[in-house]
Structure 1
Amino acid sequence: MRRAKYLPTEDRRNEAVEAVIDLASVRSPEDITTTAIAGRMKLSQGALFRHFPTKDAIWRDVMKWVSDRLFERIDKVAGAEDDPVAALEAMFMAHVAFVAEHPGVPRILMGQLQRAGATPAKQAAQALTSNYATRLRRILAAGKGSGALPAGLDEAAAATLFLGMVQGLVVQALISGDQAQMLDNAPRVFAIYRAGLLQDVKLTEERG
């Protein structure tokens, strides 16, 4: 099937975003040039810049795409569950599956968070992480309110651990280059998290 020579601006911008995500799955995001993006799209650089004023604008749209698609997926599965622990498990599995389908996404996210200065893309990456944690704390608080989770559960720590589990699986998959390993390990990792959630953990301070 031949590529359409002329596409609406929104379609062409989405095509550029997908090109960046595909490229990031096989190379460092810092090494992705506008020449490479345009080449992936079979366009000239000039044609690419008719849709994006700067390279930073491309990265901003990439982060918006990631945020929109990820939250659409996890909100859908979480909303289908009445039990808070089941909702968290559904979110966890959906997130891991999303990364397995788009291995360039974690490379992009980590790359943006490590950038110096407050670029639009970095701000979008920070907002994604913050909004995700807010969703988790909301589910955890609802679970405590309904009695499904222990009243003494530390919501902030539980949300941090949830995100840390996803990040740990992702980093190990990046190191090994094996996305299937992440999918295989996810259910066992969440089983341990579930067991911890249901324990009424009491933290004690050592007094000298």
Structure 2
Amino acid sequence: MPMHAEATGKRLKQATEVRQAGLVEAALQLAAQRSPADITTGDLAQAVGISQGAVFRHFASKEAIWLAVLDGASDTLMARLQTAAGAAPTPMAALQAMFMAHVDFVVAHPGVPRLIFQELQHAQDTALKAGVRSLMQKYRSLLMGVLQQAQDQRLLAPGTDLQAAAVLFIGSVQGLVMQSLLSGDVRAVTTHARGVLTIYLRGLAAGRGRTAATDRHAPALKETP
């Protein structure tokens, strides 16, 4: 391939990647304001300053755009959770850091839970649902690893069901998010986040009395966000 043709191909690829990123960001921003189901390709085109037809030069369908949104959001969320867990000095501190990292992610990207909750309402299986399942599997795997460390270090109550603990952890965040979306103010998720987290962590250590782990983390959890 001639060098000028190769250079042209690279420029076109870069231009497409930039436009794709712009459309994904526009979709995410619009989803923060209204239901993803109501967002049209015309809305996305207007947001990035291109024609509606031009949208399909970069994505095969509107579903492909939402898949790209979900893929990017999944990578970002998992990176934040892994960083939060990795920087924590103890497993209990890691649980706290992961919980608040997830809450902060939702506040920064409210369009993501809107997209997920809407997609889960559909009875049929979809590529988006498969993407959500993949995200949840990665999330649960990371969380189970932290819970296992806590159990190995005898920081949890004897006989703690780690699978149930993981379900409750994720469900607690999801419940907070759902209530904040219903209130119309996603930032409200932070209002009760620390209180819910405190109850969760103390429940994990129930039966151990006031352990070093709960004593060490309780003051931070009582802070008003």
TM over 0.5: yes
Q: Structure 2: how far apart are the matches of 1:197 and 1:122?
A: 31
Q: Does 1:23 align with 2:36?
A: no
TM-score normalized with structure 1 length: 0.88
Q: Structure 1: how far apart are the matches of 2:112 and 2:17?
A: 21
Q: Could you list the runs of 5+ residues in structure 1 that have no partner in the other structure? A: 1-5, 202-208
Query: Hey, what does 1:119 align to over in structure 2?
Result: 126
Which of 135, 146, 149 in structure 1 is aligned with 2:156?
149
Q: Does 1:184 align with 2:187?
A: no
Q: State the percentage of identical aligned residues.
A: 45
Which of 136, 142, 145 in structure 2 is aligned with 1:135?
142
For residues 120-144 of structure 1, give each alpha carbon's deviation from its aligned partner in whole angstroms, at most 9, with x where no partner exists.
2221011112221221111111111
AA of the residue aligned to 1:180:
R
Q: Structure 2: how far apart are the matches of 1:163 and 1:194?
A: 13
Q: Structure 2: how far apart are the matches of 1:31 and 1:167?
A: 23
Which of 147, 162, 168 in structure 2 is aligned with 1:161?
168
Q: Could you list the runs of 5+ residues in structure 2 that have no partner in the other structure? A: 1-11, 209-225
Count of paired positions: 196
Q: Give the drift of 1:8.
A: 2.0
Q: Structure 2: how far apart are the matches of 1:195 and 1:32?
A: 42
Which ranges of 4 or more aligned residues in structure 1 deviate by more than 6 Å? none
Instruction: Kindly indicate which of the two structures has a greater share of residues assigned to helix.
Output: 2
Which structure is larger by alpha-carbon Rg, 1 or 2? 2
Q: Structure 1: how far apart are the matches of 2:36 and 2:188?
A: 23
Query: Hey, what does 2:63 align to over in structure 1?
Result: 56
Is this contact kept in 2: 1:15–1:41, CA < 8 A? Answer: yes
TM-score normalized with structure 2 length: 0.82
Superposed CA RMSD: 1.6
